[in-house]
Amino acid sequence: MSRKKAARGKASPRSPRSPKASPSSSSSGSGGGGSSGRSGRGLAAAAAPSSGLVYPSRPSISHSGEFYDMAFKVMLVGDSGVGKTCLLVRFKDGAFLAGSFISTVGIDFRNKVMSIDTTKVKLQIWDTAGQERFRSVTHAYYRDAHALLLLYDVTNKSSFDNIRAWLTEIHEYAQQDVVVMLLGNKADSTHEREVKREEGEKLAKEFGVPFMETSAKSGLNVELAFTAVAKELKHRTMKEPEESKFQLQEYVDKEMRTVGCCSS
């Protein structure tokens, strides 16, 4: 069995739910960002993304009129229902999508320009459908991703168990030096919790990836997760010799201690 097949075999995402949007309804987000993926607008950008890092010699301007110095592609991946769209909407708009769950169809993206030290970093964030039937669409996007935020749902053990299969898939399709961060989402749901924080930490350690728990609902660590990834990508790109190497997990741990965060 090929590695690809093995990865697929292991992954057993939640049973598919009927999406409310049709792939043909889409023109994916550009400029200020695409749709949230909630109302059937802007879903399922079928065309492969244009490749590569934007690191212009002078600031560029985004479609929303914001200047930026460098741009990166970040993908959100993980089982259906773990909260990828909600995490993106929380980060981009500071809101939580409560109410009935509508699965993402295919793939969608939104942009956000962040100030990292004195640099303007544009993140183009791709929200992928977690459902197995869209996997072949999302595979095409992995190779252009500079960072992957891999989510599981702390209230859903099988989404955690599937992380190994997701990591196999990432190794198969993404660039070798892609930045990967593991996120245990829905940390606000203390009563329904099925995965302890320590289990997430242990798995992340095993695979050598940084880890934190998040909540798209409360906003816990959402900004931090994207900031940490943006910092890592910026440091990798600038490679300033006098700068000491940026340590992503150290940064995350320090920031979490500072804000006195973390749920359990």
Residue 263 in the binding site for ligand GTP (CB under 6 A):
no
Rule CB under 6 A: is residue 84 a binding residue for ligand GTP? yes
159 in contact with ligand GTP (CB under 6 A): no
Q: Is 29 in the site for ligand GTP (CB under 6 A)?
A: no
Closest distance between ligand GTP and the C-beta of residue 97, in Å? 6
Q: Please, what is the minimum distance in Å from the beta carbon of residue 120 to ligand GTP?
A: 27
Q: Between 29 and 130, name the residue whose CB sits nearer to ligand GTP.
A: 130
Under the binding rule (CB under 6 A), the answer on residue 49 touching ligand GTP is no
Binding mask 171-190 toward ligand GTP (x if CB under 6 A, else -) reads --------------xx-xx-
215 close to 154: Cβ distance less than 8 angstroms: no
Draw the binding track, 105-134, toward ligand GTP (x: CB under 6 A; -: no contact): ------------------------xxx---
Minimal distance in Å, beta carbon 43 to ligand GTP?
10
With CB under 6 A as the contact rule, which of the stretches 3-11, 26-34, 95-103, 194-202 interacts with ligand GTP? 95-103
Question: Which two structure tokens, joined as six digits, stand for 141?
Answer: 């996007």
Cβ-based nearer residue to ligand GTP, 20 or 236? 20
Interface size with ligand GTP, residues (CB under 6 A): 22
DSSP annotation string for the chain: --HHHHHHHH--PSPP---SS-GGG----BTTB---SSSSSS----SPPPPS-B--SS-EE-TTS-EESEEEEEEEEESTTSSHHHHHHHHHHS----SS-----SEEEEEEEEEETTEEEEEEEEEE--SGGGHHHHHHHHTT-SEEEEEEETT-HHHHHTHHHHHHHHHHHS-TT-EEEEEEE-TT-TTT--S-HHHHHHHHHHHT--EEE--TTT-TTHHHHHHHHHHHHHHHHH--TTSPPP-HHHHHHHHHHHHT----
Question: Is 234 a binder of ligand GTP (CB under 6 A)?
Answer: no
Positions that interact with ligand GTP (CB under 6 A): 80-86, 97-98, 101, 103-104, 129-131, 185-186, 188-189, 215-217
